[in-house]
Amino acid sequence: MATLTKPAPRATQPWTTRLQALLRRPYRDYIHPYLGGFLLGLVLFAAFFLTGNGLGASGGLNRYIVWVEDLFVPNHVDNTPYLLKMAGGDKDPLDDWVVMVVAGAMVGGFTGGWWNGRLKIETNKGPQISVRTRWAMAFLGGALMGYGARMARGCTSGLALSGGAVLSTGAWAFMLAVFGGAYLLAYFVRKLWL
């Protein structure tokens, strides 16, 4: 007579342990800045060659925001001339080349961080300020840069990088103003990093 025995229970790891094992990669140093600049130049050239457009980020982010706005308050979009250029009626704000540039930058940044073992949640700050202050300053700086990008009709990647590559005088003036302004402001915010 045969007896049935229960198989030994399989040791299972919780999903968080499996996720941590997937995310854990060996740390790799950043590539040399000159090599990074050269590769960025190749990507910029390929963007101009293949699409007829350069690189940009603020326009794509703006289109994502208008897309959400069009979902919730379409009447506002339909009654605002600035927003009507991107959405309203039958127009899809996501139907633009710059939307894919932003999506690719996010996916590429995440993939590069994972591949090189730098994918983690952290707040980089100086020892003299709190995490909350660092986040408040990051939000303020981001809001000012976003507003400035709308006023300048381009961000540092679209206006300075792509415009500078085609030798636009306005792009070069913008780049000099950004670097000069950042240099002057650095004195006042240096305690955020020291």
pLDDT digits (tens, 9 = 90+) for 39-95: 999 999 998 998 888 888 888 888 999 999 999 998 999 898 888 888 877 889 999
Please check whether residues 97 and 45 belong to one and the same domain. yes
For 179, the token pair is 């670097």
Please tell me the distance from the alpha carbon of residue 46 to that of residue 35, in angstroms, as a whole number: 16
Amino acid letter, residue 97: W
Return the amino acid letter for 126: G
How far apart are the C-alpha atoms of 178 and 152, rounded to whole Å? Answer: 11
The SS3 assignment for 88 reads: strand
Total domain count for the chain? 2
Average of per-residue pLDDT values in the chain: 85
Domain end marker among 86, 120, 154: 120
Question: Which residues span the domain enclosing 167?
Answer: 123-194
Of 72, 105, 120, the one marking the end of a domain is 120
Task: Tell me: do 110 and 131 sit in the same domain.
Answer: no
pLDDT 10s digits, 4-35: 666 655 556 677 777 777 777 888 888 899 99
Residue 24 within a domain: no
Bridge partners of residue 91, in order along the sequence? 88
Domain boundary among 98, 120, 142: 120
Strand partners of residue 88: 91
